[in-house]
Structure 1
Amino acid sequence: MRILHTADIHLGLSLNGWSRDAEHRIWFDRLADVIEAEEVDVLMIAGDVFDGLNPSGECQKLLYDSMVEFRRRRPTLTTVMTAGNHDPAHRLEAPGALLAGIDAHVLGTIKRKADAIDMRRHMIPLRASCGTVKAWAVAIPFLRPADLPGLAVADKDGEGSPIIRAAAEFHERFAEAARAEAGDLPLIAMGHLHCAGAQESEGAERRIPIGGEHAVPVSVFPKCFSYVALGHLHGPQNLDNGRVRYSGSCFPLSVSEIGHRHGVTILEVDGADIRHRHVEIERPAAFHRIPQRGVLDPSLLADAVAGLDLDPDLPRDLQPFIHVTLEATGPAGVVLSEAEACLAGLPVRVGGIRVIRADMAAQAQEDAGMPRTLAEINPEELFLAAFRKTNMSDAEDRHVLAFREAMNGSD
């Protein structure tokens, strides 16, 4: 049996005012090609299908039209889709009765029966094209504090984090129920959260704390889960030797994702043996950062853009994105307006223009390369470094005084 794991599609996303709808249409077409070429039996979408709580009718239509097309390409395809922190959970579930007709299962919230979690509602048998059940999905959407057993009355004096203990207990209960239902067949869990040790894409992913913690260790997923298909972090990456994996986002959703190898994960299920491989999907639109590192003298911007070999015949909504970081050789406002004038009329979409002082950029890189322990640094140093990183300028006396007053007031 072959399973395709994807996540973090973010339908409805815009970047610096530019719609990504045309890119999403092409990406869904290419995903359909992969599903057909790879002879996929099960499609798993691990959250953040939409980018916001009020997706447009066009975005919803694209999703459901695509799901029907996937099923047309693979008539025995089973789809399991869970909600992420960006998704309108109940709206995602609303067409459930209709989606059942194409063997699509949507879990937006934790299902309850009376006061207990109805765990069987989250367990879906996964069949090969011959119709034989080869594995079971344990479909868990984005968790909220109310979903975790005992969290509200957790012993604050107990050892370790009450959130981690509650998350571990939650998944252990699911594992026990799933094992009783599935017997010896593999269990494929789904989740949408931040695992400790995974790499974030700076500025791209919203931290989703549960009770004050935003990351949980992979140990919250019992070993009886043969594979854990995660969403939320946009870079494809493995944890726990590949047993726990983020498939990554569909294409670069921000400048911080330019370096990612975007694609999907294919699972090969052969009895108890599960192997996975990454399949890249070509980006619908290019994404350039100028310069690739550091800052650029504004006088060199025109030549740098000329070297990109731009296609003037591309539709506007498929033209490449460009993100520029310029040195503040003069007043920042002047440098910015001159850069905008330079890029105006070119077949590019401006994803962002930053104007910073070169010495501030160099200092930020130096700070990033010299990790220190908390014992070696005081809170004011942390504030000054954070202010410099955020604003690319040093804090003024009034900022430092305000920080000191806030610190004194917290004692």
Structure 2
Amino acid sequence: MAVRILHTADWHIGQTINGWDRTFEHAFFFKELKEIVVREAVDAVLISGDVFDNQNPSAEGMRMLFHALADLRRARPHLTTVMTAGNHDPAGRLEAPGILLEEIGVSAVGMILQKDGGLDLSRHLVPLKNAEGVIEAYCLALPFPRASDLPTLTGESAKEAGSPIVRAVADLYQRAVSGAREQIGDAPLVAMGHLHVSGGDESEASERRILIGGEHAVPATVFDESLAYVALGHLHKPQRVGRDTVRYSGSPFPLSVSELNYKHGVDIIELDGDSYSYERHALTRPVPFYRLKGKDGLLVAEVEGALEALELDADLPVEQQPFVHVDLRRQTSALGLRAEVDQILSRYPVRDTGVSIVSAKEEGQAAPSEIVSLKKLEEIKPLDLFYTAFEKEHGEGPEARHLELFHSVLAEID
């Protein structure tokens, strides 16, 4: 018998764009996800990190997640769900309701747990069963690796060429796979990861460099060839990396203007012994997202005409109104441009996601364009300011302990 596995990631529950809430889109996605799980007779759902958008999710966001997970289990009573933490997630809070989540078939793995000098496989190795209750494969559930999860490299190892952080990540996966193989032999093994793998396409302004020490990416070779599939999260563009069985499922809908042209969906993998098959299932985009730019950016005087051409529905509730990003051509002066466009957009049933200035690198030449965002102060997230200040001061991004302290201070202010 085969086992059918659905791979999804980067839900970012609680995300806003220019202050606009995305709850309607998440609710729509969860409804469609359940329909796919039922229609495609899915046996297991793998959620590869960034379940939430920040490390201090709201009570409403937590309820939305738990309701969605319970709804999936009601729809498929034998369903197994494996949920790992990404760099955005509060790892401890994701695991905290573990004993309750297990009652609805959910294994939540927020942190890498060690036992007797190795990985605690009782926590990280999850059996995947078919509809008859037979174990057909196993999932090696590894969340985003934080500094404390990686072994300290000393002596000769520290002197080797290349990044010690990348070597540590490779070592983590190698030890995890070896330990799993000792328990399950040659049974099909699926690994989860929340990493940037070399060769993967990033979304502009959507994903940060997340490895400790500012390291950016690991090679696909960190994933053992014996793995039947590698379910990745972090990059929002759906794509394969390195080989056909190493994939990012991508985000469920555009989380920024740079993701407009992505073909959002979920991946379904069927494993039947040594047999592997892959299917991509498209997701419906519940809210339109437009980028008004003309050929080389619009003049302010052209914005209204571009909006009229959209034939907007004035009766839509706010949460269903289209998102609109405007690219302006470089004009006489940038002073006041943002305010002018804001005023125009406010007269239409749309939600403003930002204004950018498009300018050629050199006048008179067909050079690639640069896009400079005109941001208002209230659009800049405190977390982005924290990252920028930290990187400027220390030369690398903050670690989990710094982010936890930042969010605890932010919660006190709020």
User: TM-score normalized by structure 2?
Assistant: 0.85
* C-alpha displacement of 1:276: 1.2
CA deviations over 1:166-190 (Å, ceiling 9, x no partner): 2221111111111122222110000
Contact 1:46 1:230 in 2 (8 A): yes
Equivalent residue, structure 1, for 2:298: 296
Indicate whether 1:267 and 2:269 are aligned. yes
Aligned to 1:239: 241
**1:145/1:151 contact within 8 Å kept:** no
The corresponding residue for 2:379 is none
Match of 1:24 in 2: 26
- CA–CA separation in structure 1 for the residues paired with 2:89 and 2:279: 27
Letter of the structure 2 residue corresponding to residue 78 of structure 1: T
Cα 1:389–1:317 shift into 2, 3 Å? closer
Change (3 A) 1:68 1:201: same
Moved over 3 A (4+): 150-156, 358-365, 388-392
Residue 36 of structure 2: aligned partner: 34
**1:11-410 mapped onto 2 (5 Å cutoff):** 11-113=13-115, 115-151=117-153, 155-291=157-293, 294-356=296-358, 358-360=359-361, 366=367
Give the drift of 1:144: 1.3
Does the 8 Å contact 2:268/2:280 carry over to 1? yes
Secondary structure at 1:322's aligned position in 2? strand
- Matched residues in 1 for 2:154 and 2:311: separation? 58
Shift of 1:302: 0.9
Between 39-48 and 174-183, the greater mean CA deviation after superposition: 174-183
Do 1:255 and 1:323's aligned partners in 2 also have CA atoms closer than 8 Å? yes
Structure 1 gap ranges (5+) = 369-387, 393-405, 407-411
**Using the alignment, how far apart are the partners of 2:163 and 2:363 within structure 1?**
38
Distance 2:365 2:108 in 1: 44
Q: Deviation at 1:152?
A: 6.0
- Say whether the 8 Å CA contact 1:135–1:182 is kept in structure 2: no
Q: 293-302 vs 168-177, which deviates more? A: 293-302
Alpha-carbon spacing, 1:76–1:309, altered in 2? closer, same or farther (3 Å): same
Cα distance in 2, alignment partners of residues 391 and 300 from structure 1: 19
Contact 2:49 2:143 in 1 (8 A): yes
Contact 2:356/2:371, CA 8 A, preserved across alignment: no
Deviation, 1:299, is 1.4
List alignment gaps of at least 5 residues for structure 2.
375-391, 393-414
Matched to 1:5, the amino acid is H
Q: Percent identity?
A: 45
TM-score (norm 1): 0.86
Q: How far apart, in 1, do the equivalents of 2:363 and 2:145 lie?
A: 40
Q: Structure 2: how far apart are the matches of 1:176 and 1:56?
A: 39
Q: Which amino acid is the alignment partner of residue 150 of structure 2?
A: L
Report the equivalent of 2:386.
none
CA-to-aligned-CA distance 1:85-120 (integer Å, 9 cap, x gap): 000000001110001111110000001225543133
Contact 1:294 1:361 in 2 (8 A): no
Report the Cα distance in structure 1 between the residues aligned to 2:366 and 2:156, rounded to whole angstroms: 41
Between 1:73-82 and 1:293-302, the stretch displaced more is 293-302
